[in-house]
């Protein structure tokens, strides 16, 4: 995600960033960095989707999803599947969410006749409070799909920047789900992990240049930098 494309809303003087540094321009930079960090996960999903060579579908509802999988004649990839709470209710499945579930990712392998349902996380693990809930939601969705599809169904979590799953942080005792590193997931869906790393690295360099340039425009920051230069 490019920091220049982020447009946070609200009065910067009412933000915690301003309370920390007391400078509007610098606080806005800090706020944009945080917004970019949050948006990176969504941006990652978009990059993965754009690189997938499977027949792919984006922003579809549950009925459409089931119909497509039932009639599959090739490998499939899905992004952003919306499942209303009522679907769980009419199938006597307890749904732990609120009104609906939006599934990040799903793919169907025709070779092993298996549907994979999962979530893509940008970091090294899941938030401690959310780990169990994330897996529970995927498990509930798997039960729902089994009522409509006669095939193997697996659930998974991708920890994209993780390179060694023994270092991953997922606070749950459940064992009925798959865990993938970013590289492993890319291999599963036939895209280049290195290409995605390259895209993100280039964006990172652009963000660095943008941050430093914008910081140097702030008189107070410029004065501090010049003072440090003189002292050294």
Along the 232 residues of the chain, how does pLDDT read in single tens digits? 889 999 999 999 999 999 999 999 999 999 999 999 989 989 999 999 999 999 999 999 999 999 999 999 999 999 999 999 999 999 999 887 778 899 999 999 999 999 999 999 988 877 656 667 888 899 999 999 999 999 999 999 999 999 888 877 776 767 789 999 999 999 999 999 999 999 999 999 999 999 999 999 999 999 999 999 998 7
* pLDDT given at position 128: 54
Beta carbons of 190 and 201 less than 8 angstroms apart: no
85-94: long-range contacts, CB 8 A cutoff, minimum separation 24 = 87/62, 87/144, 88/140, 88/144, 91/143, 91/144, 91/147, 93/140, 93/143, 93/144, 94/140
Please provide residue 92's backbone torsions phi and psi, each rounded to the nearest 5 degrees.
55, 40
Element (H, E) at 137: helix 131-146
Query: Hey, CA dihedral for 215, 217, 218, 221, is it positive or negative?
Result: positive
* pLDDT given at position 132: 73
Closest-CA residue to 138 (of 121, 161, 163, 113): 121
Give the predicted TM-score (pTM) of the model.
0.87
Closest-CA residue to 65 (of 131, 153, 187, 179): 153
For the chain, give me the number of helices (H) and strands (E)? 8, 6
């Amino acid at each position: 995600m490019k920091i220049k494309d982020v447009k946070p809303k609200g009065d910067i003087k009412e933000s915690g960033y301003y309370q920390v540094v007391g400078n509007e321009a610098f606080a806005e930079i800090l706020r944009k960095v945080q917004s970019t960090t949050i948006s990176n996960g969504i941006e990652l999903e978009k990059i993965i989707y754009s690189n997938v060579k499977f027949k792919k579908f984006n922003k579809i509802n549950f009925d459409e999803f089931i119909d497509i999988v039932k009639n599959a004649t090739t490998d499939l990839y899905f992004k952003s599947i919306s499942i209303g709470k009522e679907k769980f209710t009419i199938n006597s499945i307890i749904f732990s969410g609120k009104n609906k579930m939006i599934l990040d990712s799903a793919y169907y392998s025709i070779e092993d006749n298996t549907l994979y349902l999962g979530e893509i996380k940008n970091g090294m693990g899941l938030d401690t409070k959310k780990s169990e809930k994330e897996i529970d939601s995927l498990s509930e969705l798997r039960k729902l799909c089994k009522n409509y599809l006669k095939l193997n169904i697996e659930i998974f979590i991708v920890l994209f920047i993780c390179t060694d799953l023994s270092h991953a942080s997922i606070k749950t005792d459940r064992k009925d789900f798959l865990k993938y590193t970013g590289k492993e997931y890319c291999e599963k869906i036939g895209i280049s992990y290195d290409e995605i790393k390259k895209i993100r690295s280039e964006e990172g360099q652009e963000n660095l240049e943008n941050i430093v340039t914008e910081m140097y425009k702030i008189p107070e920051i410029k004065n501090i930098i010049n003072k440090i230069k003189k002292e050294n």
